[in-house]
Chains A and B, each alone.
Chain A
């Protein structure tokens, strides 16, 4: 009885964390290789790639927007960086790549704030535009990088995990401890109110989109460093994983709230599941189905919680739901 209750308390505290533990335990029992150092490192690396862009996406969603163009941005930044490493060296190339991502993000922000195009449409447009730009830039071919092992460091060992952690800590502080973070949440919670209390909402949104672009670029750089190849088709579908891990982590899509640890756990959960199913030789098609079910489950639970008896639901809102439904 006692253990049951505390388990439930854990689950309530962090549903995604608790699920992660259970799923990890299951794979540890089912497969001998899951709990090996190499495998866990693998999991961490693939989780980090999604986590980094997912953390950026968390800010975007907290500000009441989201960014569908992150996969394309990752590819574009990866290609640009790969192509300039031989000329300008590793660090400047990385900086250039990240700047490229931030620039793409800033353009997203401009379209949303100045042209007043909804983020969904604006970033959907940018998704195809930037993907196209990446393919044009590479002329549809691969850019290889031979012998430049310095660049490889971005994806080896615990570098990706450290980067993800550092960004998580930074964003966590940003959201909870700074005025800018408060302004992001305010903008996401109610744009009109935010403007009225003196928040420069356009400035907030440009910055957030630029940050998302930068994180997308960093994810793209890690991906390209893994294979030492720049390719216009890199990171296809990354936007969906990024949004998925944010949602799994408990950040509501409606804006105004965010869970940074949740996004980290969400990325780990996603990576563990993919890895475990791989180890169990489950076909990739089934993996997709699993991911979808997981997302639906998370969202169902999230909406179930807000309407549980303990939660304050006004009589009126209940009634109106029934009226319309």
Chain B
């Protein structure tokens, strides 16, 4: 419970940070008290990262003060905050992958016996901390062998072992699946119960609302509001984040046309995904839901020619699907928007135009097939810029300079430029801010309206509910249930996917290890 009589364990007053040409933080106030989870939300560029980096001692403020327990401090390097008991868990984890869990937890603070590392003590202490975090791994396991969520818990274990009084988490759930998220949120709650102050930075409002005591919104480097969780609604937070009202988040009523893509007893890569049958209609969104590793992505990759279909048949418009290389899939009218645009979607060194048109090149100027037509490419780019409201200054601009949302739109435009009839969408709004997200949803609605059939895979259930008309839930490589219409709810999907109800009751108990008091 937040306490008001004592000064906040960490407070910033009138903090500003200017970069050449940009004011990243503009006179903000923020504080966190012991035993509280204080969520910090805002779109990209709102100043969250700048504040975190100042609190981590990585950046220095241009103006303003940082107070610890009411006393001003100056952090000139990352060691300063550590000494004051502030621990930051960055989104990109800073673990040493080849070292063991214990070595990572105690790195630079290894217990020693004489000049040598006291392995026994180190392993024992690590095991104790892992136990309180409910993380069932051996302290001697190399970190690279752990899943992302386990690695995250190792980071938390490290923060915990430094007896941190303030733990700052930057987008901790970005790479986690639903079940892992729930577990993480439980741990965040128990950290708070053991009187640690947690600053929780996230895009995902559902999580924020289930874990935070107070919610602070930043926009354009400025502090917009701070309110207790009960005193504000999700809609209000979104409005404060984007500074305007967003289109209402409801799935429109759709009238699907005839069947375009049909799968019968598909098996992919000798059983990675098995016995999949479905039919997808024009103007319809069919979602594939399931936990990570349940086979949804693999099925999509199979349909797109990135994996082998080892048995069963798939037909597109009644003709057997030729899927041995993405090239063939694209030619027959299948578009693919991959899950991770950085690693498998974008060409960072190429211009916006070049990124947009690359999939469509084979169709153009059949008379001289090998040559490009830059003028036409440019026109096409500007056309999609208008249609999809993509924001960039020139078509020749490098795509790496665009924001996440605009990059995602470029990739969507690429699929459209290929004239696809079936669109495979993986995580269409990952790493995209709230405003762009709403735009992408509207865009998807428009595409569906035009008769494009969409196969959707997303780990964000609200997104699935918002977009999908029907949903097939996968468990361990096999379809377990098909939901449609009003049956597509978060609870239904999670219940099938995990085999249990996902409604969480937080334990809200203190962690057992004493915490530096």
Interface size on B, residues (CB 8 A): 41
A178 touches B371 (CB 8 A): yes
Q: Which of B50, B59, B347 is in CB contact (< 8 Å) with A190?
A: B347
Q: Nearest Cβ distance between residue B354 and chain A, in whole angstroms?
A: 6
- With contact pairs A316-B49, A322-B58 given, residues A178 and B349 touching in the complex (Cβ less than 8 Å): no
A177 touches B49 (CB 8 A): no
- With contact pairs A179-B372, A196-B336 given, residues A323 and B90 touching in the complex (Cβ less than 8 Å): yes
Q: Nearest Cβ distance between residue A256 and chain B, in whole angstroms?
A: 3
Q: Which of A169-196 contact B (CB under 8 A)?
A: 176-182, 185-186, 188-190, 192-196
Q: Which of A186, A192, A315, A323 is in CB contact (< 8 Å) with B344?
A: A192
Residues of chain A lying within 8 A (CB to CB) of residue B354 = 182, 185-186
A179 touches B350 (CB 8 A): no
- With contact pairs A177-B372, A179-B370 given, residues A198 and B49 touching in the complex (Cβ less than 8 Å): no
B124 at the A interface (CB under 8 A): no
Q: Nearest Cβ distance between residue B367 and chain A, in whole angstroms?
A: 13
B350 touches A197 (CB 8 A): no
- With contact pairs A196-B338, A200-B325, A323-B78 given, residues A182 and B358 touching in the complex (Cβ less than 8 Å): yes
B306 at the A interface (CB under 8 A): yes
A195 touches B347 (CB 8 A): no
Nearest residue, chain B, Cβ from A187: B347
B344 touches A178 (CB 8 A): no
Q: Which of B94, B331, B350, B401 is in CB contact (< 8 Å) with A185?
A: B350
Inter-chain CA distance A315–B221, complex, in Å, is 13
Q: Which of A83-141 contact B (CB under 8 A)?
A: none
B325 touches A182 (CB 8 A): no
Q: Nearest Cβ distance between residue A131 and chain B, in whole angstroms?
A: 33
Q: Nearest Cβ distance between residue A141 and chain B, in whole angstroms?
A: 45
B49 touches A256 (CB 8 A): no
The A-B contact count (CB < 8 A) is 99
Q: Which of A178, A186, A309, A312 is in CB contact (< 8 Å) with B350?
A: A186
Residue-by-residue, is A307-322 near B (CB-CB < 8 Å gives 1, otherwise 0)?
A: 0010010011001101
B349 touches A197 (CB 8 A): no
Q: Nearest Cβ distance between residue B353 and chain A, in whole angstroms?
A: 10
A255 at the B interface (CB under 8 A): yes
Inter-chain CA distance A181–B350, complex, in Å, is 12
A242 at the B interface (CB under 8 A): no
A190 touches B361 (CB 8 A): no
B330 touches A323 (CB 8 A): no
Inter-chain CA distance A324–B93, complex, in Å, is 11
Q: Nearest Cβ distance between residue A258 and chain B, in whole angstroms?
A: 10
Residue-by-residue, is B318-354 near A (CB-CB < 8 Å gives 1, otherwise 0)?
A: 0000000111011100001010000111111110001
Q: Which of B354-391 contact A (CB under 8 A)?
A: 354, 358-359, 361-362, 369-372
Residues of chain A lying within 8 A (CB to CB) of residue B327 = 198-200
Inter-chain CA distance A259–B146, complex, in Å, is 43
Number of contact residues on A: which range applies? Answer: 20 to 34
Nearest residue, chain B, Cβ from A255: B349
A320 touches B92 (CB 8 A): yes
A315 touches B372 (CB 8 A): no
B414 touches A315 (CB 8 A): no
- With contact pairs A178-B370, A315-B24, A316-B49 given, residues A256 and B348 touching in the complex (Cβ less than 8 Å): yes
- With contact pairs A193-B346, A196-B336 given, residues A319 and B370 touching in the complex (Cβ less than 8 Å): no
B116 at the A interface (CB under 8 A): no
Inter-chain CA distance A320–B304, complex, in Å, is 35
A186 touches B343 (CB 8 A): no
Q: Which of A178, A185, A312, A316 is in CB contact (< 8 Å) with B347?
A: A185
A231 at the B interface (CB under 8 A): no
B369 touches A193 (CB 8 A): no
Q: Which of A178, A197, A255 is in CB contact (< 8 Å) with B414?
A: A197
Residues of chain B lying within 8 A (CB to CB) of residue A182 = 354, 358, 361, 372
Residues of chain B lying within 8 A (CB to CB) of residue A197 = 326, 330, 358-359, 414
B370 touches A189 (CB 8 A): no
Pick from B90, B92, B347 the residue with the most CB of A within 10 Å.
Answer: B347
Residues of chain B lying within 8 A (CB to CB) of residue A309 = 20
B177 at the A interface (CB under 8 A): no
Residues of chain A lying within 8 A (CB to CB) of residue B78 = 323
A323 touches B58 (CB 8 A): yes
A198 touches B349 (CB 8 A): no
Nearest residue, chain A, Cβ from B47: A315
Q: Which of B87-101 contact A (CB under 8 A)?
A: 90, 92, 94
B338 touches A178 (CB 8 A): no
B370 touches A198 (CB 8 A): no
A256 touches B336 (CB 8 A): no
B53 at the A interface (CB under 8 A): yes
- With contact pairs A315-B19, A319-B59 given, residues A179 and B349 touching in the complex (Cβ less than 8 Å): no
A198 touches B359 (CB 8 A): yes
A315 touches B53 (CB 8 A): yes
- With contact pairs A182-B358, A182-B372, A197-B359 given, residues A256 and B347 touching in the complex (Cβ less than 8 Å): yes
Residues of chain B lying within 8 A (CB to CB) of residue A256 = 347-350
Inter-chain CA distance A319–B414, complex, in Å, is 32
A73 at the B interface (CB under 8 A): no
- With contact pairs A315-B49, A315-B53 given, residues A196 and B370 touching in the complex (Cβ less than 8 Å): no
A58 at the B interface (CB under 8 A): no
Q: Which of A25-76 contact B (CB under 8 A)?
A: none
Residues of chain B lying within 8 A (CB to CB) of residue A192 = 343-344
Inter-chain CA distance A185–B399, complex, in Å, is 14
Residues of chain A lying within 8 A (CB to CB) of residue B359 = 197-198
Nearest residue, chain A, Cβ from B373: A177
A178 touches B372 (CB 8 A): yes
Q: Which of A176, A189, A312 is in CB contact (< 8 Å) with B349?
A: A189
Inter-chain CA distance A188–B359, complex, in Å, is 16
Inter-chain CA distance A182–B338, complex, in Å, is 21
Nearest residue, chain A, Cβ from B24: A315
B348 touches A199 (CB 8 A): no
A257 at the B interface (CB under 8 A): yes
Inter-chain CA distance A188–B414, complex, in Å, is 19
Nearest residue, chain A, Cβ from B327: A198
Residue-by-residue, is A146-184 near B (CB-CB < 8 Å gives 1, otherwise 0)?
A: 000000000000000000000000000000111111100
Residues of chain A lying within 8 A (CB to CB) of residue B338 = 193, 196
B94 touches A179 (CB 8 A): no
Q: Which of A196-218 contact B (CB under 8 A)?
A: 196-200
Nearest residue, chain A, Cβ from B19: A315
Residues of chain A lying within 8 A (CB to CB) of residue B24 = 315
A189 touches B59 (CB 8 A): no
Inter-chain CA distance A312–B403, complex, in Å, is 12
Pick from A190, A309, A323 the residue with the most CB of B within 10 Å.
Answer: A190
Inter-chain CA distance A185–B90, complex, in Å, is 33
Inter-chain CA distance A255–B414, complex, in Å, is 22
Residues of chain A lying within 8 A (CB to CB) of residue B331 = 198
Residues of chain A lying within 8 A (CB to CB) of residue B414 = 197
Residue-by-residue, is B23-57 near A (CB-CB < 8 Å gives 1, otherwise 0)?
A: 01000000000000000000000000110010000
Residues of chain B lying within 8 A (CB to CB) of residue A189 = 347-350
Nearest residue, chain B, Cβ from A181: B372
16 A-B pairs with C-beta separation under 8 A: A177-B372, A179-B370, A179-B371, A182-B358, A186-B347, A186-B358, A190-B343, A190-B348, A194-B347, A195-B326, A196-B345, A197-B358, A256-B349, A257-B349, A315-B19, A323-B94
**B residues touching A (Cβ–Cβ < 8 Å)?**
19-20, 24, 49-50, 53, 58-59, 78, 90, 92, 94, 304, 306, 325-327, 329-331, 336, 338, 343-350, 354, 358-359, 361-362, 369-372, 401, 414
Q: A179-B361, A197-B414, A198-B327 are in contact. List 10 more A-B contacts (CB 8 A).
A: A178-B372, A179-B372, A181-B372, A182-B354, A182-B358, A182-B361, A185-B349, A186-B354, A315-B24, A315-B49
